[in-house]
């Protein structure tokens, strides 16, 4: 009986870990979420899926930018990290205005 209980507990833990590593949020949803976090209209968007941590948790890294007029660098640049499983904003880096 103890062995069966241990196996069930192990199976439950494995299923929970797999659920956290799933991608439930689309690229388009991640972009929309990121755009709500800034108060400028980006002229460029770059999106990439990254996995971080020991359990390789998936995140969408959404870069929103306005290039400088001279073509070197950016007038505005913000990177929003969106949890690809829950859709919640994990972090924001750069200028929001």
Looking at residue 2, its pLDDT comes to: 74
The CATH class given to the 2-94 domain equals alpha beta
Question: What are the phi and psi torsion angles at 39 (to 5°)?
Answer: -110, 35
Residue 60 DSSP code: E
Looking at residue 8, its pLDDT comes to: 60
Percent of the chain with pLDDT over 90: 63
Looking at residue 48, its pLDDT comes to: 97
> Which ranges of the chain have pLDDT less than 70?
1, 5-21, 96-97
In 21-90, which residue ranges form alpha helices assigned H by DSSP? 27-35
- Where in the chain are the domains? 2-94
pLDDT tens track for 31-43? 999 999 999 999 9
pLDDT tens track for 12-21? 555 555 445 6
Looking at residue 42, its pLDDT comes to: 95
Q: Cβ–Cβ contacts within 10 Å for residue 54, how many?
A: 5
Percent of the chain with pLDDT over 70: 78
Looking at residue 70, its pLDDT comes to: 86
């Amino acid at each position: 009986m103890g062995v069966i209980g241990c196996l069930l507990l192990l199976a439950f833990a494995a299923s929970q870990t797999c659920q956290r590593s799933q991608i439930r949020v689309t690229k388009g949803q991640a972009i929309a979420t990121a755009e709500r976090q800034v108060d400028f209209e980006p002229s460029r968007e770059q999106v990439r899926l990254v996995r971080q941590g020991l359990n390789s948790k998936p995140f969408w890294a959404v870069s929103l930018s306005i290039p400088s007029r001279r073509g070197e660098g950016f007038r505005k640049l913000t990177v929003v990290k969106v949890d690809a499983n829950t859709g919640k904003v994990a972090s924001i880096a750069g200028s929001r205005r």
